[in-house]
Amino acid sequence: MKKVLIMLGVPRQQFEHILKGWEIVYPVSGSFTNEELIEKVSDVDAIVTVYGNKLSNEVIDAAPNLKMIANFGAGYDNIDMAYVGKRGIVVTNSPDPVTEPTAELAMGLMISVARRMGEMNNILKNKEELQWGVMRNLSTTLVGKQLGIVGMGAIGKALARRAVASGMSIVYHNRNEVDEQTANALDAKYVSLEELLKTSDVVSLNMPLTADTKAMIGQEQLHQMKSTSYLINTARGPVVDEEALIKALEENVIAGAGLDVFENEPNIPDALKELPNVVLMPHLGTATHETRGEMSALVAQNIKAYFEGMTPPNQVN
């Protein structure tokens, strides 16, 4: 009998349905500690990791039979890929289900910060005095504005579709240009990062976290942006120099930010919480009931495919 350990309490029904006959080790109280993992992985064939939760190399060393790590999430920076590669362990991710909900949240953050929804909501709910009037509490409309997308993968494209439908124009920066059909459908123009930052009214970060993208947006890049522009980050916190961002917001270098991810999650600097022109979400880009179930199903399908001798649909190494 094959055995899989699931690190956190993600939806279980899909695993039981797709991996019939498998022994499934599931946490009783939400998640396993690192010590519990080390105790329980000695005879597992596969481990299901969850984005944002590090799989330590100690756990890998304690699992001599481990052949596969199936990550619940698109990003797999929670796994030491070089280390598992030396063991010949196959790694998969689950990108497709996260595309639309993450783009949806990015669009919501854009609207919330530009239209000052978070700020106004906080004032009204905290019963602070608010001056009403036709020329008070003005905000910025997104119609006719330029969205600059850094990272034109599946999520970037899904966000672009939403932005175009809202009357925005699109420029993007990516490792490679998108295919001509996609570019034409979105009327999206490929530009350098510097041009994107200098000309865009909203900059959305949608790239993976790698050695090349870590702190990709720092003081220099923030100062290239318009003073009226907004930064949206639904990618990974460390792609932004958080200290530089806070300073830029405090000094009105940019107009505001919408953030779903942070440099040292779950810790969020008080300065970000106190700034009225920042909308914060606790890494919920993919957090819908529907998406979680779809992700469990895809993770289980990757495991099933591998152990039936096929190449998993989402193998990343």
Q: Which two tokens stand for residue 278?
A: 């920042």
pLDDT of residue 101: 97
Model confidence pLDDT, tens digit, residues 228-283: 999 999 999 999 999 999 999 999 999 999 999 999 999 999 999 999 999 999 99
Confidence (pLDDT) at 127: 87
Band of pLDDT at residue 39, cut at 50, 70 and 90: very high
CA distance 102 to 46: 27
Say which of 100, 104, 236, 263 is annotated catalytic. 236
Q: Is 265 assigned a catalytic role?
A: yes
In this predicted structure, what is the pLDDT of residue 250? Answer: 98
In the block, residue with structure tokens 């005095």: 129
Average pLDDT over residues 41-68: 96
pLDDT of residue 132 exceeding 90, the answer is: yes
Name which of 5-9, 49-53, 69-73, 288-292 the model is least confident about. 49-53
Q: Report the pLDDT averaged over residues 201-220.
A: 96
37 falls in which pLDDT band (50, 70, 90)?
A: very high
pLDDT digits (tens, 9 = 90+) for 157-204: 999 999 999 999 999 999 999 999 999 999 999 999 999 999 999 999
CA within 13 Å, CB half, 295: 28
Task: Determine the Cα–Cα distance for residues 114 and 230; give it in Å rounded to an integer.
Answer: 7
How sure is the predictor about 75, in pLDDT bands with cuts at 50, 70 and 90? confident
Which pLDDT does position 128 carry in this prediction? 86
Mean per-residue pLDDT of the chain: 96
Output the pLDDT for position 52.
86
Task: Verify whether residue 175 is a known catalytic residue.
Answer: no
Q: Is 162 in the active site?
A: no
Given a contact cutoff of 8 angstroms between Cβ atoms, the answer to whether 172 and 149 are in contact is yes
Active-site residue, from 220, 243, 265, 274? 265
Helix residue ranges per DSSP H, 25-98: 34-40, 57-61, 81-86
Residue 72 has pLDDT above 90, yes or no: yes
Helix residue ranges per DSSP H, 7-51: 13-18, 34-40
Q: 82-89, long-range: CB within 8 Å, 24+ apart, which pairs? A: 83/57, 84/60, 84/317, 85/317, 87/60, 89/60
